[in-house]
Amino acid sequence: MRALDPDPLRSHFPALATTVGGRPAVFLDGPGGTQVPTAVIEAVAAYYRERNSNTGGAFLTSQRTDETIAAARSALADLLNAPTPDGVKFAANMTSHTFAFSRAVGATLAPGDEVVVTALDHEANVSPWAALAERGAVIRTVPVDVEDCTLDLATFDRLLGPRTKVVAVGYASNAVGTVNDVARICARARELGAISYVDAVHYAPHGAIDVQQVGCDALVCSPYKFFGPHLGVLWVRPDLLAGLPAYKVRPAEDRIELGTLNHEGLAGATAAVGYLEGIGRALLEPNAAGAGRRRRLEAAMAAIGAYEQRLVRRLLDGLDRIPGVRVYGVRDPARLHLRVPTVAITVAGHAPRTVAERLGAEGIFVWDGDFYAQQLIERLGLLATGGVVRLGLVHYNTAAEVDRTLGALTRIAAGS
């Protein structure tokens, strides 16, 4: 299989033509939402032109909308390697899904039952579960090793017990990039008969997801983080969902999808999967041209991951050479497989917002703050000082953009 070349892929993304001060913009804001390829834009527009209708009607555009929904379930099932499309559910975003799912699970818990969350996660995978304390659930929190921002799995094991009913964990940290051993965590939950819920929102643009290999009961992600529209996707074991209370209007057939779906977003999500599939098709050897969609997606994500690892190594090496810059998270070159290419930094003497503003003025787009990973940022001692600056690489970024960012940070750190 050939290596990924980002240059021809960049032409798929119209936003990358944005300029600031006559120079091309550098989009390192992907953790907050990636840019989208032309195919996604066209799919959304085509839905409005040719398919715009509600579902279940006895006429053409409604039937086309039914086909749009079915195609999205099939595409996302392949992306996640779900056994069937039946468990793929849609909502406005991951947060909506998690509140709905946690409320249903919470109705099955007894006072004193335990829910395990982590201090590394986005609050969207903490607050909905913590709210179950109002029903008498006991919330246990897995701590973080602040030296490398990894989960303390020894403490995780000690927190588990016969009353553990739910384990909620992130696949990768949206703040510092740490990749968790979700297969190990889900296996431990399964041993206890507990439900495992994985937030894969931040991992999805960087690596292949296989819900069967992970062994989770439910997993959630968001297409707008992997080159698609704003949308939330939940995969849940159909047999598990069937046994949970449904919070829905009486005539509704689905147990967890509420109201009319974002049909144009579903068309765009299918196109986003198609974009990734196209990368895999181009990379596979000619004798593998007949490979199915899942195989092409695996090839694409493997190539993307390998390319991003080279890019983040270049970024980390450069950051280490800038006086006053501190990097949070895994830094050991031998352990870079434990992180996605999301890098959190602080610059001595400069507030994170000031750094982001300086970079933005130079056409380099980054995020600053806590990114709703409040427990982590608080444990790092950075919440009161504005959090961190987050540099988020994806496969459409280049080595030249990394070098340009390093040059700008060198000037900022030097006070020039």
Going along the chain from its start, the domains and CATH numbers come out as 6-32+302-413 (3.90.1150.10), 41-272 (3.40.640.10)
Give the pair of three-digit tokens for residue 17. Answer: 């033509």
Give the confidence band of 208 by pLDDT, cuts at 50, 70, 90: very high
pLDDT in the model for residue 1: 65
Give residue-wise pLDDT tens across range 362-405: 999 999 999 999 999 999 999 999 999 999 999 999 999 999 99
Q: Which of 72-81, 188-197, 248-257, 407-416 has the lowest mean pLDDT?
A: 248-257
The more confidently predicted of residues 348 and 3 is 348
Q: Strands 388-392, 367-369: parallel, antiparallel or unpaired by DSSP? A: antiparallel
Cα gap 114→370, rounded to integer Å? 27
pLDDT in the model for residue 393: 98
The pTM (predicted TM-score) of the whole model is 0.97
Give the confidence band of 291 by pLDDT, cuts at 50, 70, 90: confident
pLDDT in the model for residue 252: 86
Using DSSP's 3-state secondary structure scheme, residue 268 falls into: helix
pLDDT in the model for residue 289: 62
**Length of the chain measured in residues:** 416
Helix-helix angle 263-283:60-80, to 10 degrees: 50
CA atoms within 13 A on the CB side of 407: 10
Q: What is the largest CA-CA distance in the chain?
A: 67
Paired with 90 in beta bridges are 233
